[in-house]
Amino acid sequence: MKFKGLTVAFVTMAALGTSFASAQATVASGHAVDVQVAPKPNCAKNHVCFWTKTKFNGTKTSEEADSECTTLTETARSAQNALKEGTLYLFSDTKCKNLRETLDEGQSDDDTGTVNSWRTDISLPNPGLTR
């Protein structure tokens, strides 16, 4: 719905099964409208992060880069690659066999489908090392 330069998108929360932050905006006519805003991913630099729900909701897990297959303790539904360099590989199974998608550095996906394991194409040898 457009209001003189302000675009407001309304999402049916029940259909998505997710939570949103609320905000209030004042449109050019002076009327206040409620706006639903999806959370932004907030993964620490040089980490990969996973959320148990779509749209970066639910329980968040943050991990350092690892080229070994890593099984998630909970199934992820959204992910972010905050590595300075390197690709994040997302797998639907727990053994890194069934590739679901890849995320290059800086990319995220708010609806990955079912992800149960992951790996990167790099490993940081020292937890304090940044690339």
- CATH class as words, domain 47-120: mainly beta
pLDDT at 53: 97
pLDDT at 101: 96
Averaged pLDDT, groups of 10, the chain, 131 residues long? 37 36 51 61 94 96 94 97 95 96 96 97 54 37
pLDDT at 32: 65
pLDDT at 86: 93
Residues of the chain with CATH 2.60.20.10: 47-120
* Residue among 72, 61, 55 at smallest CA distance from 17: 55
Spatial neighbors of 78 by CB under 8 A, at least 6 apart, are 41, 50, 51, 53, 54, 55, 56, 57, 108, 109, 110, 111, 112
pLDDT at 127: 42
What's the whole-model pTM score? 0.67
Query: What's the token pair of residue 39?
Result: 């959370």
